[in-house]
Chain A
Amino acid sequence: MSAGAFAITIALTFLGLLAITFFIGRIIPIDPVLAVVGDRAPQEVYERVRVEMGLDRPLIMQFVSYVGDVLTGNLGTSVTTGRPVASDLARVFPATLEMATLGIIIGVVLGVPMGVVAAARRGSLTDQAIRVVGLLGYSVPAFWLGLIGLLLFYARLQWVSGPGRLDIFYDGLVPTVTGLMLVDSIIAGDWTVFWNAVSHLVLPASILGFFSLAYIARMTRSFMLDQLSQEYVITARVKGVPERQVIWRHAFRPIRVPLITVIGLSYAGLLEGSVMIETVFSWPGIGNYLTSALLNADMNAVLGATLVIGAVFIAINKISDVLYRVLDPRAR
Chain B
Amino acid sequence: MATTREWLLTESPASRMQARLGRSYRVFTALMRNPLAVIGALIILALVVLAVFAPYFATHSPYAGTLTDRLQPPGPEFWLGSDELGRDIWSRIVYGARITLVIVLLVAAIAAPLGLIVGAISGYFGGWTDRILMGVTDVFLSMPKLILALAFVAALGPGIENAVIAIAITSWPAYARIARAETLTFRNSEFIAAIRLQGASAARVILRHILPLCSSSVIIRVTLDMAGIILTAAGLGFLGLGAQPPLPEWGAMISRGRAFILDQWWVATMPGFAIVIVSLGFCFLGDGLRDVLDPKSGGKQ
Evaluate whether A12 and B300 lie within 8 angstroms (CB atoms) in the complex, with A143-B235, A144-B254, A151-B261 already known.
Answer: no
Query: B262 touches which one: A155, A291, A314 (CB < 8 A)?
Result: A155
Hey, what's the 0/1 contact readout for A291-332 against B, CB within 8 Å counting as 1?
A: 100110101001101100110011001000000000000000
- Residue tally, chain B, CB below 8 Å to A: 49
- Residue tally, chain A, CB below 8 Å to B: 56
Q: Smallest Cβ distance from B88 to chain A, in angstroms?
A: 20
Q: B300 touching A13 by the CB < 8 A rule? A: no
Q: A141 touching B231 by the CB < 8 A rule? A: yes
B65 within 8 A of A: no
- Which residues from chain A contact B228 at a C-beta distance below 8 Å? 138
A28–B276 CA distance with the chains assembled, in angstroms: 33
A305–B148 CA distance with the chains assembled, in angstroms: 11
> Which residues 133-164 of A sit at the B interface, judged by CB distance below 8 A?
135-136, 138-144, 147-148, 150-151, 155
A17–B138 CA distance with the chains assembled, in angstroms: 11
Q: B262 touching A27 by the CB < 8 A rule? A: no
- Which residues from chain B contact A310 at a C-beta distance below 8 Å? 143-144, 147-148
Closest to A19 in B: B139
Number of residue pairs spanning A and B whose beta carbons lie under 8 angstroms apart: 146
Task: Tell me which of B45-53, B151-159, B186-194, B201-209 binds A.
Answer: B151-159
Main SS class of interface, B: helix
Q: A138 touching B144 by the CB < 8 A rule? A: no
A150–B87 CA distance with the chains assembled, in angstroms: 25
B176 within 8 A of A: no
Task: Tell me which of B25-33, B215-223, B265-273 binds A.
Answer: B265-273
Q: B268 touching A147 by the CB < 8 A rule? A: yes
Evaluate whether A138 and B265 lie within 8 angstroms (CB atoms) in the complex, with A21-B151, A147-B254, A276-B235 already known.
Answer: no
Evaluate whether A148 and B272 lie within 8 angstroms (CB atoms) in the complex, with A20-B143, A313-B142 already known.
Answer: yes
A100 within 8 A of B: no
Q: B301 touching A222 by the CB < 8 A rule? A: yes
Closest to B257 in A: A147
Evaluate whether A141 and B251 lie within 8 angstroms (CB atoms) in the complex, with A21-B151, A314-B142 already known.
Answer: yes
Closest to B299 in A: A225
- Which residues from chain B contact A302 at a C-beta distance below 8 Å? 150-151, 154
- Which residues from chain B contact A305 at a C-beta distance below 8 Å? 147
Q: B227 touching A275 by the CB < 8 A rule? A: no
> Which residues 6-52 of A sit at the B interface, judged by CB distance below 8 A?
9, 12-13, 16-17, 19-21, 24-25, 27-29
Query: B142 touches which one: A144, A226, A317 (CB < 8 A)?
Result: A317
Query: B283 touches which one: A24, A138, A226, A303 (CB < 8 A)?
Result: A138
Residues of B within 8 A of A (CB): 135-136, 138-140, 142-148, 150-157, 227-228, 231, 234-235, 238-241, 251, 254, 258, 261-262, 265, 268-269, 272, 275-276, 279-280, 282-284, 287, 299-301
- 29 interchain pairs, CB-CB under 8 A: A16-B135, A16-B139, A20-B143, A20-B148, A25-B155, A27-B155, A135-B283, A138-B283, A139-B275, A141-B231, A141-B235, A141-B238, A141-B276, A144-B269, A144-B276, A147-B254, A148-B269, A222-B300, A225-B300, A279-B238, A280-B258, A294-B150, A295-B240, A297-B154, A302-B154, A306-B147, A306-B148, A309-B144, A313-B142
Instruction: Rank and list the top 7 A-B pairs by shortest CB-CB distance, nearest first.
Output: A16-B139, A139-B279, A144-B272, A272-B144, A225-B300, A306-B151, A139-B280
Residues of A within 8 A of B (CB): 9, 12-13, 16-17, 19-21, 24-25, 27-29, 135-136, 138-144, 147-148, 150-151, 155, 218, 221-222, 225-226, 268-269, 271-273, 275-276, 279-280, 290-291, 294-295, 297, 299, 302-303, 305-306, 309-310, 313-314, 317
- Apart from A13-B139, A313-B143, list 11 A-B contacts with CB within 8 A: A13-B138, A25-B155, A27-B156, A136-B276, A139-B279, A140-B275, A143-B254, A291-B150, A302-B154, A314-B142, A314-B143
